Amino acid sequence: MPRKGENIYKRKDGRWEGRYIKARSQTGKAIYGYVYAPTYKEVKQKRSQAIIHAESNPPVSRHVSQSTVPPCFIRKLTDDWLNSVQAQIKKSSYVKYNNIIHSHILPEFDNVPLNELTSSRIQKFCEDLLDHGGISGEGLSPKTVVDILSLMRSLLRYAQIQGYQPPSTGKEIIIRQTAPDTVIISRSAQEILCRYLYANISERNIGILLCLFTGMRVGEICALKWEDISFQEKSIYVHKTMQRLQIPGSTFQKTRVTVTSPKSKCSTRTIPIPDNLVQLIQQNFPNRQGYVLASPDEEYIEPRTMQNYFCYVQRQCGLTPVNFHALRHTFATRCIELGFDVKSLSEILGHASVNITMNRYVHPSMELKQQNMQKLSALLAVM
C-alpha cells in the first residue's frame, strides 16, 4: 500500500519504491526518478536525498529540453532498459524479457525511431501477433501477446523517465483474454495413480506424491533437498526452485540448469506433511542427502525430465496424461472439498492473497456441487 502523499509504495517483490520529480521537460511535464530499498525507512531517506540532489542541480535535472535530446531508436531503448533492470530482477525474468525483445519487438521495430511508435502502430503489431505470430505462423496466445505488450509499456515508461516523449504509452491498448481450461485429476484417476506410486516406491514417485499432497510446483520439488524435510516437525521448507534457463549471447552452451529463490517472497514457505506420507518416506529413504528426486547415482532431476516422467507414469496407469501442474490444481481442489481453511491453503500454496487461491486453483467438483445443492432439500421439505 502507498504511504499517502509520499509517493512511496511497497512492491510485489517485497522492496519499497520511492518516486520523485527529477526534471521537467520544456512543456513542464514531470520526469520522474525512482529509488529502491528493502525497508520503508531506507527508501524514504533515499528519496529525500534524491530530491535534494535534483533541486540543487536545476540546469541538469529540472529542465530537459526535447531539442537537446538525441533521437532514440527502439534497439538502443531496449538495450538501455535491459541494462537498467538487470540488477533488480531475477535471472529468469531477465531471460524472458530478453527473449521477448529479440524474438518479437526488435524484428518489428529494430531501427524505428521512438517518435514513430504510435498507438495505432502498436495496436497493429499486437493484432499481427495474435493472427499469425510465432514460429508456426498460426498466431500467439492472448496471454503471450499481453506479456509482450506489458514489456513495451515498460519500455515506453522508461523512455519518459529518460526525458523522451513517446507518442503512446501503450496503456490504451487492450488485449482480451479468456481464462484457460484448468485440468483437475478426478478422484478415481487419483486413486489409480496413488496405488501405482505406492506399489513402485522410488525417489521420483515420492516426488509426485509430495506434489499431489502439498501442492508444490515442479521447480520446487526438483530443487528440494533432504535437509529441507524435517521428519521431527513433519514439514517441508520450500525456499528454492530449479529452472533451465537460456544463456543470452552464448555460442557454446545455450541453456543452463539454475537453482534460485522461488518466484515470489510468498513462495518461500513451510508446508506440513500428512503423517502417512512422512512414515512412507522415513521407511523407504532413511539417512539420505542431496536432492530428493535424485537416486544415489544421479546429481539432480530437472523439471522437464520430471514432467516427462509424470507422463510416463500416467500411461503406465492407463490414464490420459495431464501436465505436471495439474497435481497442484488437484491438491487445492481436494483441500477445498475437505473443508480446508482458505487462508491456510493460500499460505501452503505460497500465494500473495486468498483471491489468487480461490480464482486460479480452486475448482469444485460436480460431486461437491451436488452435496451443496442437497442442503436446499430441507427448504423443499416444508413446501
pLDDT digits (tens, 9 = 90+) for 37-89: 888 888 888 888 888 777 766 544 334 444 444 568 899 999 999 999 988 88
Q: Which of 171-180, 258-267, 332-341 has the lowest mean pLDDT?
A: 171-180
pLDDT given for residue 63 in this prediction? 41
Give all domains of the chain, ordered by start, each with its CATH number. Answer: 1-67 (3.30.160), 69-178 (1.10.150.130), 187-371 (1.10.443.10)
In this structure, what are the phi and psi dihedrals at residue 350, rounded to the nearest 5 degrees? 80, 35
Using DSSP's 3-state secondary structure scheme, residue 216 falls into coil
User: Is the confidence at residue 91, as pLDDT, over 60?
Assistant: yes
| Average of per-residue pLDDT across 107-121 | 89
Q: Which three cell numbers stand for residue 103?
A: 524474438
pLDDT given for residue 363 in this prediction? 63
Please state at what angle helix 303-316 crosses helix 203-214, rounded to 10 degrees. 90
pLDDT digits (tens, 9 = 90+) for 279-308: 999 999 998 999 999 999 999 999 999 999
pLDDT more than 70, % of the chain = 88
Q: How many CA atoms lie within 13 A of 219 on its CB side?
A: 17
Q: How confident is the model at residue 362 (pLDDT cuts 50, 70, 90)?
A: low
